[in-house]
């Protein structure tokens, strides 16, 4: 089953949206994340549905079929391996690689991506802590929690992020809140839910509620 550049982007977006929420994904959300209009989304959903890549009934939202999910995972595999390559081999910052990987993820060649995987030493996670799907379509399922889910006194290690915008990643870099850092929850300010965390060297850092939701940790 061959999917076009655009079709791949739709499938990937729908995969991400169904991961982060309920089963059925709605038209407006898709239009929003793909920077397009709901009418265009409807057109594409009909097309993908005819190709049996997703289940679609008018007004009811969509879910991926197995072939559809498979294509999405292949694209995500490519995206994350290229990100790893760009950071580890070409020394890009973790905030610079997303747009490049959006292009590279559409290069068609199973052989290429498997050799890249091998060249990189079969990494398990990309530079943002996201798991890299294997060639056979399996993907580690995350049991990461956002910092905001920690109770006061609890400790964790930063292992991922939930938002990939350059601005957010640059902010984390500047605060030295990078993957692998151990932190513990100090307190939550009642007024605006600002979170105070402590790093290994006993430094206290205040982060906003929004930021705390987007930093993921293992316990």
Partner DNA sequence: TTGTTGTTTTAGATGTGTCTAAATTTTTAA
Partner DNA sequence: TTAAAAATTTAGACACATCTAAAACAACAA
Cα dist. 108→38, 71, 76, 111 in Å?
28, 12, 13, 9
Pairwise CA distance, residues 48 & 76, whole Å: 18
Binder of DNA out of 16, 33, 36, 186 (CB under 7 A): 36
Q: In the bound complex, what is the minimum distance in angstroms from residue 54's beta carbon to DNA?
A: 12
Backbone phi and psi for residue 73, each to the nearest 5 degrees, phi listed first: -65, -35
Q: How far is the CB of 29 from a second copy (least distance, A)?
A: 28
What is the x/- site pattern for DNA, positions 14-33, by CB under 7 A?
A: ------------xxxx----
Choose between 51 and 134: whose C-beta lies nearer to DNA: 51
User: Which of 44/147 has CB closer to DNA?
Assistant: 44
CA dihedral 128, 126, 141, 167 (to 10 degrees): 20
Q: Do the strands 54-56 and 195-199 form a parallel or antiparallel pair, or are they unpaired?
A: unpaired
Options 13, 53, 61, 169; binder of DNA; rule CB under 7 A: 61
Which x/- pattern over 80-119 shows residues binding a second copy (rule: CB under 8 A)?
Answer: ------x--xxxx-------x--xx--xxx--x--xx--x
In terms of CB distance, is 40 or 194 closer to DNA? Answer: 40
The 10 Å Cβ neighbour count of residue 165 is: 12
Q: Can residue 37 be called a binding residue for DNA (CB under 7 A)?
A: yes
Rounded distance, CA 112 to CA 91, Å?
Answer: 21
- Give CA–CA dist 85/161, Å, rounded: 19
The residues that touch DNA, with contacts defined as CB under 7 A, are 4-7, 26-29, 34, 36-47, 56, 58-61
């Amino acid at each position: 089953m061959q999917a076009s550049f655009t079709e791949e982007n739709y499938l990937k977006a729908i995969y991400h949206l169904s991961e982060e929420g309920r089963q059925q994904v709605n038209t407006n959300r898709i239009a929003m994340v793909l920077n397009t209009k709901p009418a265009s989304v409807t057109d594409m959903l009909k097309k993908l549905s005819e190709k049996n890549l997703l289940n679609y009934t008018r007004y009811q939202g969509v879910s991926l079929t197995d072939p559809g999910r498979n294509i999405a995972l292949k694209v995500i595999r490519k995206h994350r391996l290229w990100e790893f390559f760009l950071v580890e081999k070409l020394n890009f910052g973790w905030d610079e690689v997303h747009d490049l990987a959006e292009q590279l993820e559409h290069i068609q060649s199973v052989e290429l991506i498997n050799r890249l995987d091998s060249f990189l030493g079969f990494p398990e996670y990309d530079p943002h802590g996201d798991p890299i799907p294997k060639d056979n379509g399996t993907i580690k399922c995350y049991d990461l929690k956002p910092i905001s889910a920690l109770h006061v006194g609890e400790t964790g290690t930063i292992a991922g992020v939930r938002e990939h915008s350059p601005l957010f990643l640059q902010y984390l870099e500047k605060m030295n809140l990078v993957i692998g850092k151990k932190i513990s929850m100090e307190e939550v300010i009642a007024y605006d839910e600002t979170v105070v965390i402590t790093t290994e060297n006993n430094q206290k850092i205040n982060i906003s509620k929004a930021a705390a939701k987007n930093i993921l940790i293992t316990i």
